[in-house]
A and B are shown apart, each in its own frame.
Chain A
Amino acid sequence: MARWTIPFLALISLCAATSCSSYRALKPATNSTCQLSDTHRLPQGQYVMQIDIFNKHISGLMLFKETPTGTRAVFTNEMGFKFFDFEFGKDSARTVFILPRMNKKLIVQTFQNDLGMVAAPRKQGGTLQGKEGTVLRSKLNDKDFLYHYTGADCNTLTRIERGGKAKRKVIATIENDAQGQPNKAIIKHKMFNFKIKLTKVEEEAN
Chain B
Amino acid sequence: MQKLASLVPSMRQAILIHIIAAMKKTAFILLLSILAYTSQAQRPGFTYIKDDAAVRQKLSAGSKAINAIKADFTQEKELSMLSEKIVSKGAFFFKKENKVRLEYKTPFKYLMVINGSKVLIKDDTKSTKYDTHSNKIFKQVNDLIISSVQGTILNSPDFKVKIYESSGQYLLEMVPVAKGLKEFFSGINILIDKKDYSVSRLEMVELSGDKTTISFSNKELNGKVDDTLFSTN
A residues at B contact (CB < 8 Å): 4, 8, 11, 46, 48, 50-51, 53-54, 56-61, 63, 65, 67, 72, 74, 76-83, 85, 96-97, 99-102, 104, 106-107, 110, 191-194, 201-204
B1 nearest CB across to chain A (Å): 16
Query: B229 on the interface (CB 8 Å rule)?
Result: no
- On whether A82 and B107 interact (CB within 8 A), knowing A4-B10, A8-B9, A53-B17, the answer reads no
Question: Which residues of chain B are near A110, meaning CB under 8 Å?
Answer: 12, 16
Contact in complex: B13, A102 (CB < 8 Å)? no
* Cα-based distance from A107 to B20 in the complex (angstroms): 10
Contact B208–A76 (Cβ < 8 Å) = no
Q: Which of A54, A74, A79 contacts B27 (CB 8 A)?
A: A79
The chain B residues found within 8 Å of chain A, CB to CB, are 6, 9-13, 15-17, 19-24, 26-27, 30-31, 34, 75, 77, 79, 81-82, 84, 86-88, 102, 104, 106-108, 110, 123-126, 128, 183-184, 204, 206, 208, 210, 212
Other A-B contacts than A79-B27, A100-B183, A107-B19, 18 sampled, CB-CB below 8 A, are A50-B125, A53-B17, A58-B20, A74-B79, A77-B26, A78-B123, A79-B30, A79-B75, A79-B102, A80-B75, A80-B210, A82-B208, A85-B208, A96-B81, A101-B22, A101-B183, A107-B15, A202-B107
Q: Which of B13, B107, B108, B123 contacts A194 (CB 8 A)?
A: B13
Contact A79 B212 (CB under 8 A): yes
21 residue pairs from A and B, CB less than 8 Å apart: A4-B10, A8-B10, A46-B86, A48-B108, A48-B123, A57-B20, A58-B20, A58-B23, A58-B24, A59-B123, A61-B86, A74-B82, A78-B108, A78-B110, A79-B30, A80-B75, A80-B77, A81-B204, A81-B206, A101-B22, A107-B15
